[in-house]
Chains A and B, each alone.
Chain A
């Protein structure tokens, strides 16, 4: 199923939440919509699902304009940000809900529910009340509920939002594998770059109700369209000089013992160490190193920049 969003606009009380969004998702493709909170990502999903009537623009599924097609006939799954489990139904009742709506016979339902629960790592949870689940369990039940009816397109709103550390990592990988296996068309909304890059075949960067850039993760990382995007992706080495915007990727900044700068911050993030240094000229730069032996805070260092990691952005810098 391919999904296209054309010039979609929604505003609330006069202030635009979506301002002409253009998106295309190919069948079986996974698109991550990445943006800060309040950028209109959830509204985008609601409009695609038919929960929010657009002021303008179209949502097209496999060439068919969905205007006038009510939510329940769109065949689009949506996993809500905070789960939104039915409090009057147990885990099984929640997961089987969509199946019942499809009219699946009772016998088949139980098997499907069990399989989906296994998929999200909640085997045997069928009879549990939803009020007694932990945050992570709720999130996974919500995911199972969205997956169970095998929707044509699955929309995920911050699916890992309230999860923590190892569980989050595990579920992230599970999701990746799952989507790979099911060949689902997926639109995932997140504010987390890691999540977007992990799941998205492509990532659409969303800002103030529009898509500022949509590209594959590597491409995005290699060529953010503007300074804001670069910063949002986590690249803070953005320099604006004489009307030009220059980006230095942190991995292109090499730091060695020597002179010319001082280390402000050094922290290990798994296999890499992130550093922040201040050049004696006053500029600050981010860097990463994979070295086991790395400079500590306060060390004097020499900084060398690999030109391959330096590029220039044509567009004007941040508008706002």
Chain B
């Protein structure tokens, strides 16, 4: 088994090196710059202990917790529907839930303001609603990628033992789904914990989270010391969440009976039809309405309804150095590269984590989710200024930072899936003559392919929609779609707003198509 051990160490080395080089090193550089005073490194206890900091931490935490609960409550019924039932448009629903995830927050906030009743457009409720809107995809897709492969005989057995629907939910479904639920909850929590645009726009100036305050200190007041101190606090809080959730996931995870997806799905019967229709209807309303408002805006040109804004995407504009459609190509190119990198980094990390535990690697790969984009961006600027690492202004950094953000998703989606594989299957393959690499390809890969497909869809969507970090490394002559949308929104005039909306719709369409394709390929190829 020595070869396997060596392979695992090698598997862990690549993601560790990647994250160390492109995350830990630049972040450490900027934190050191911020916290070094009079030549010595000092922990900023005054900032950390300040009452205002504690208030920030408190609000950040509880709004994230509330948002996570709300997202779970909203997402789980939808996950149930797409995991257990076959109905027309099921794969489309699975793809569409990911669309909000890629949209820039300003665009979403605008769409939200259009549908929220006047007077309720700022405050906690809109924040919760927007977080639910963004993160439902996390819950639905992560949980259903696992749920839809569970052998339905689990429930049949429970039913035959006299468990009613409620009992089955409590005694079978929830315990068995605990690993993906934990993963989805942890990711949602982290996203809400480090939420930026939603808090800024829908929270208003009175409400700040650690992330928005770090941005304020770093980008506005240029108080690097305060920004570094708050960044440390945020990283520590995120690390704590990661350790707890990873431990929970490991404790609850294990081999489960699997069945091909087509065996697990069935048409809804009787009262189930009402439930399925109800869940789909409510979801469509909440997720679809803001999106519809956006589509409407992109078509509502100054000369009446039409595709004018879309046609204008091919023209030169004062808002960008290149015609907007270049941004679409750039985004696709970068997102492809970032997805490949994220799958490699996250997949290898997941393999090492699933087989050896490797909690330190788990934390390391996940940690970029907890870093403030502006601090990481500043870190890039001061860390990569000398050859051979003179990467400032290199277009390569775009897929790299996007992969940093996407890799944690790959890990959280693939690792539970890998862990659910019965070790005996690998042994059976080895006995039949499969080398460790072959075992991986013949057993692990097909069995996690569904999860890998889900992860790839996520990685692609994240890369496509990533703005916070991308804007720091994107080159003006290589803008991505979100960067272009911001350029348009930064200027007055109906044409600029219209083109921003049109680009957002293009982003939505791209996401849907790519995710549908990724789902289709992986569902067909990996029959599980």
Are any A and B Cβ atoms less than 8 Å apart in their complex? Answer: yes
Q: Which positions in A face B, CB cutoff 8 Å?
A: 46, 49-51, 53, 70-73, 75-78, 80, 82, 84, 86-89, 97-98, 101-102, 129, 131, 145-146, 149
Chain B 429-463 interface mask (CB, 8 Å, partner A; 1/0): 11111111011001100110000000000000000
Contact present for B447 and A87 (CB under 8 Å): yes
What are some 7 contacts across the A-B interface (CB < 8 A)? A70-B3, A70-B430, A71-B431, A84-B422, A101-B433, A129-B260, A146-B432
- Would you call A72 and B435 a contact (CB within 8 A)? yes
Please name all residues of chain A whose beta carbon is closer than 8 Å to the beta carbon of B447 when the two chains form the complex. Answer: 87-88
User: A82 to B427, alpha carbons, bound, how many Å?
Assistant: 13
List the A side residues contacting B428 at CB < 8 Å.
78, 80, 84, 86, 145
B431: chain A residues at CB < 8 Å are 49, 51, 71-72, 76-78, 146
- Given known A-B contacts A97-B429, A131-B259, A87 and B434 have beta carbons under 8 A apart: no
> Judging by beta carbons under 8 Å apart, are B438 and A101 in contact?
yes
A75: which B residues are within 8 A, CB to CB?
433
Main secondary structure of the interface of B (DSSP, over half): helix
Instruction: Please judge, given known A-B contacts A98-B432, A129-B260, A131-B259, whether A86 and B443 are in contact too, CB under 8 Å.
Output: yes
Extra contacts, 18 of them, besides A80-B428, A86-B425 (Cβ < 8 A), are: A49-B427, A49-B431, A70-B436, A71-B431, A72-B436, A78-B428, A82-B424, A87-B259, A88-B260, A89-B446, A97-B442, A98-B432, A129-B263, A131-B151, A131-B259, A131-B263, A145-B428, A146-B431
A87 touches B433 (CB 8 A): no
The interface residues of chain A lying within 8 Å CB-to-CB of B260 are: 87-88, 129, 131
Q: Across the two chains, which residue of chain A brings its CB closest to B525? A: A88
B254 vs chain A, min Cβ distance (A)? 16
Inter-chain contacts of A131 with B (CB < 8 A):
151, 259-260, 263
Decide: B432 and A97 in contact? CB cutoff 8 A. Answer: yes
Complex Cα distance A268/B165, Å?
47
Task: Point out the residue from A46, A84, A88, A102 that lies within 8 Å of B433, measured CB to CB.
Answer: A102
* B residues less than 8 Å from A149 (CB atoms): 432-433
Closest chain A residue to B445, Cβ basis: A88
A88 near B3 with CB under 8 A, answer: no
What residues of A have a CB within 8 angstroms of the CB of B425 in the complex? 84, 86-87
From B3, B259, B424, contact of A84 by CB (8 A): B424
The answer on a CB contact under 8 Å between B258 and A51 is no
Q: Which residues of A contact B442 (CB under 8 A)?
A: 97
- Complex contacts, A89 vs chain B, CB 8 Å: 446
Smallest CB–CB gap between B148 and chain A, Å?
14
Least Cβ–Cβ distance between A233 and chain B, in angstroms: 31
Q: Is the interface of A mostly helix, strand, loop or mixed?
A: mixed
Cα A97 to Cα B439 with chains together (Å): 11
Query: Is B259 within 8 A of A88, CB to CB?
Result: no
Q: Choose from B422, B430, B438, B527 the contact partner of A88 (Cβ within 8 Å).
A: B527
Residue of A nearest to B430 (CB): A71
B427 near A51 (CB under 8 angstroms)? yes
Note all chain B residues with C-beta closer than 8 A to A87: 258-260, 425, 447, 528
Count of A-B residue pairs with CB < 8 Å: 84
Residues in B whose Cβ lies below 8 Å from that of A49: 427, 431
List the B side residues contacting A102 at CB < 8 Å.
433
A157 to B425, CA, bound (A): 15
Q: Is A88 a contact partner of B1 (Cβ separation < 8 A)? A: no
Question: Are A72 and B427 neighbours in the complex by a CB distance under 8 Å?
Answer: no
Closest-CB distance, B169 to chain A (whole angstroms): 24
Kindly name the residue among B428, B431, B527 whose own CB sees the greatest number of chain A CB atoms within 10 A. Answer: B431
Contact A88 B151 (CB under 8 A): no
Docked complex Cα distance between A158 and B425 (Å): 17
Specify which chain B residues have a CB less than 8 angstroms from the CB of A71 in the assembled complex.
Answer: 427, 430-431
Q: Which 3 A-B pairs have the closest CB atoms?
A: A101-B433, A98-B432, A71-B430
Contact assessment for B433 and A72 in the assembled complex, using a CB-CB cutoff below 8 Å? yes
Minimal Cβ-Cβ distance residue in B for A70: B3
Nearest Cβ on chain A to B1's Cβ, whole angstroms: 6
CA distance A255 to B220 in the complex (A): 104
Q: Which residues of B contact A129 (CB under 8 A)?
A: 260, 263
> Is there a chain A Cβ closer than 8 Å to B288's Cβ?
no
Q: Report whether B432 and A53 are in contact in the complex, using a CB–CB cutoff of 8 Å.
A: no
CB distance from A16 to the nearest CB of B (A): 20
Q: Which residue of B lies closest to A98 (CB)?
A: B432
The smallest beta-carbon distance between A148 and chain B, in angstroms, is 9
Q: Does B526 contact A (CB under 8 A)?
A: yes
- Complex contacts, A78 vs chain B, CB 8 Å: 427-428, 431
| Residue from the list B1, B433, B446 in contact with A98, Cβ < 8 A | B433
Residues from chain A with Cβ under 8 Å of B429 in the complex: 86, 97, 101
The answer to whether residues A72 and B259 also contact, given A51-B427, A84-B425 and a CB cut-off of 8 A, is: no
Chain B residues, Cβ within 8 Å of A53: 1
> How far, in Å, is B431 (CB) from chain A's closest CB?
4
| CB nearest neighbor in B for A90 | B527
Chain B residues 244-281 with CB under 8 Å of chain A are: 258-260, 263
Expressed in whole angstroms, the Cα–Cα distance for A82 and B151 within the complex equals 17
A35 vs B263: C-alpha distance when bound (angstroms)? 39
Interface string of B132-152 (1 = CB under 8 A from A): 000000000000000000010
Is B432 a contact partner of A51 (Cβ separation < 8 A)? no
Q: How far is the CA of A84 from the CA of B433 in the complex (A)?
A: 15
- For residue B259, which residues in chain A have a CB less than 8 angstroms away from its CB? 87, 131
A97 to B438, CA, bound (A): 11
B3: A residues at CB distance < 8 A: 70
Chain B, range 87-120, C-beta contacts under 8 Å to A: none
Q: How far is the CA of A82 from the CA of B1 in the complex (A)?
A: 23
**Assembled-state Cα–Cα distance A179/B442 (Å):** 29
Q: Smallest distance from the beta carbon of A159 to chain B beta carbons, Å?
A: 14
* Shortest Cβ gap from B322 to chain A (Å): 45
Closest CB of chain B to A254's CB: distance in Å? Answer: 49
Determine the chain B residues whose CB is within 8 A of the CB of A82 once the complex forms.
424
A250 to B526, CA, bound (A): 57
CB-defined contacts of B527 to chain A, threshold 8 Å:
88
Q: Which residues of B contact A46 (CB under 8 A)?
A: 427
Measured CB to CB, the nearest residue on chain A to B450 is A88
A97 to B441, CA, bound (A): 12
- Binary contact readout B399-436 vs A (1 if CB under 8 angstroms, 0 otherwise): 00000000000000000000000101101111111111
Chain A residues near B430 (CB, 8 Å)?
Answer: 50-51, 70-72
Cβ–Cβ < 8 Å partners of A97 in chain B: 429, 432, 434, 442
Q: Cα distance A76–B427 when bound, in Å?
A: 12
B1-21 residues at the A interface, CB under 8 angstroms: 1, 3
* Nearest CB of chain B from residue A147's CB, rounded to whole Å: 11
- Compute how far the CA of A51 lies from the CA of B431 in the bound complex, rounded to whole angstroms: 8
A51 to chain B, nearest CB (A): 5
State the CA gap A146–B446 with chains docked (Å). Answer: 21
Residue of A nearest to B432 (CB): A98
The minimal Cβ–Cβ distance linking B442 to chain A, given in whole angstroms, is 7
In the assembled complex, the CB of A260 is this many whole angstroms from the nearest CB of chain B, namely: 52
